[in-house]
Amino acid sequence: MTANNWTSRELIEELLAAYVTAIDDGDLERWPEFFTEDCVYRILPRENDSLNLPLAVMSCNSRAALTDRIAAYRKANLFAPHAYRHMLGPVRIRDEGRQEVRRVPTTRYSVLRLIPSTMGPARCSASASIATGLSWSTASRGSVKKA
């Protein structure tokens, strides 16, 4: 099947899969390419989101800020070796808005942080689930672009 024959849902699923694969494979320099220049990227704890509290764990207001974040991660931050694995749920497309209806794709997800096992470099064991998201929306200021 070519991209010309794909449904909107299949295109969204492919975008999300490419996005998490870049992170899971450690190709973090590619990660900002999934966003528009004027994106807004915020990580809110679930509790803050449900209480409409604006305090974010991470907040970047442009693709350049995301690129800087990756550079800082690679050069300044010192972490024990680890990898991430995202597990995505099915994509749901819902209508949002009162006057102008927008189609908003969302998915539930979990992220595992994997640490190298003492049993050899080819094996990893999951620590704990470090993030579970209610939804991932691409509606905020057109923040995610098509791959």
DSSP per-residue string spanning 14-49? HHHHHHHHHHHTT-GGGGGGGB-TT--EEE--HHHH
Neighbours of 90 (CB within 10 A): 9
Residues composing the chain: 147
- Angle among Cα 136, 137, 143 to the nearest 5 degrees reads 120
The CATH T-level fold of domain 3-142 is Nuclear Transport Factor 2; Chain: A, (3.10.450)
Q: What pLDDT is stored for residue 1 in this prediction? A: 53
Cα–Cα distance between 96 and 102 in angstroms, integer? 5
Q: Which residues contact 2 (CB under 8 A, 6 or more apart)?
A: none
| Tens-binned pLDDT, residue by residue, of the chain (147 aa) | 566 778 888 999 999 999 999 999 999 999 999 999 999 988 888 888 889 888 888 899 999 999 999 999 888 877 777 888 999 999 888 887 777 777 788 888 888 888 876 545 544 444 333 344 444 444 333 333 333
Q: What pLDDT is stored for residue 31 in this prediction? A: 93
Neighbours of 35 (CB within 10 A): 22
Is residue 98 helix, strand or coil?
coil
Domain spans of the chain, in order of start = 3-142
Q: What pLDDT is stored for residue 64 in this prediction? A: 97
Q: What pLDDT is stored for residue 109 in this prediction? A: 85
Q: What pLDDT is stored for residue 54 in this prediction? A: 83
Q: What pLDDT is stored for residue 70 in this prediction? A: 94
Cα–Cα distance between 128 and 132 in angstroms, integer? 11
Q: Whole-model pTM?
A: 0.70
